Structure 1
């Protein structure tokens, strides 16, 4: 009987090890999707032209700086973020820096009522904002409007290298 128990123990341990090994693979797959989606978002934005702030615009009742790529205003313009999601899945957002906040001006992240979450701000106590404040990208898990996402945030810089916004892509955590 002890040989039988030993074999069962070995099989159980093997199955457990295999299951644990799959968890990082799932995370890696999502991470590579985030990286690819971020490159796509930045590439499509680049095709429009250099980022800049020009004047202000109302987004969901808030007056915020108007962010442009070339001559294309991003505020309340969902073409870019929707194209990225059509090709890569997930969610995409353009944030603009408004004072100390980063406001969603173009997004396909949805609120609970199904509407686009424009006018909402990047969590001022979240993990991503600390990196962005240092001018660095952030890749990792974040709660967005109460749901877990695997994400990427990358600062948008103007011609003078000032951070004027944030590129965001993310996938609902599996």
Structure 2
């Protein structure tokens, strides 16, 4: 039996005898990223189809307004915070603004502890290169100077146009 399976079994047995709920045992960064990405995408799909409706100022920067159904995502942290609460790590919704991708809903933090809202995805990074080709990216990248194990997937409208990016990630230890 693998160590992770033994650890999970022990946690479950301890919980069963103590009456406590089992503690989540991490499967590993890659599995966590895949699981968190699926959760983010399914929660977004439950809200509604993605669309862009106009522009607005967000943290001093004029950006397109991204919606899922009738729910505006710009400055709305409910979705990303739900994913963080359920899976840990970080989550972000980016909107496409010409050749850039801007964080419009995020729980990634800046050095000062504030949300990194209206900040741009690294224009020279590995993730944006994949997204520009219409591909997903899963791997290690630096986010605002810190290493993360991440996943990025395009947000597409009904015509398959890329409107933004789903992101999830876990700080590297």
TM-score by length of 2: 0.84
For 1:162 and 1:59, locate their aligned partners in 2 and report how far apart those are by CA, in whole Å.
Answer: 23
For 2:57 and 2:171, locate their aligned partners in 1 and report how far apart those are by CA, in whole Å.
Answer: 29
- After the TM superposition, list the runs of 4 or more consecutive aligned residues in structure 1 that deviate by more than 2 angstroms: none
Give the unaligned 5+ runs of structure 2.
Answer: 1-26
| 1:1-174 mapped onto 2 (5 Å cutoff) | 29-174=28-173
For 2:68 and 2:110, locate their aligned partners in 1 and report how far apart those are by CA, in whole Å.
Answer: 26
The structure with the largest helix share of the pair is: 1
RMSD value over aligned CA atoms?
Answer: 1.1
- DSSP 3-state at the match of 1:40: helix
For 1:69 and 1:83, locate their aligned partners in 2 and report how far apart those are by CA, in whole Å.
Answer: 15
Number of equivalences: 148
Give the unaligned 5+ runs of structure 1.
Answer: 1-27
Structure-2 residue corresponding to 1:7: none
- DSSP 3-state at the match of 1:149: strand
TM-score by length of 1: 0.84
Structure-1 residue corresponding to 2:10: none
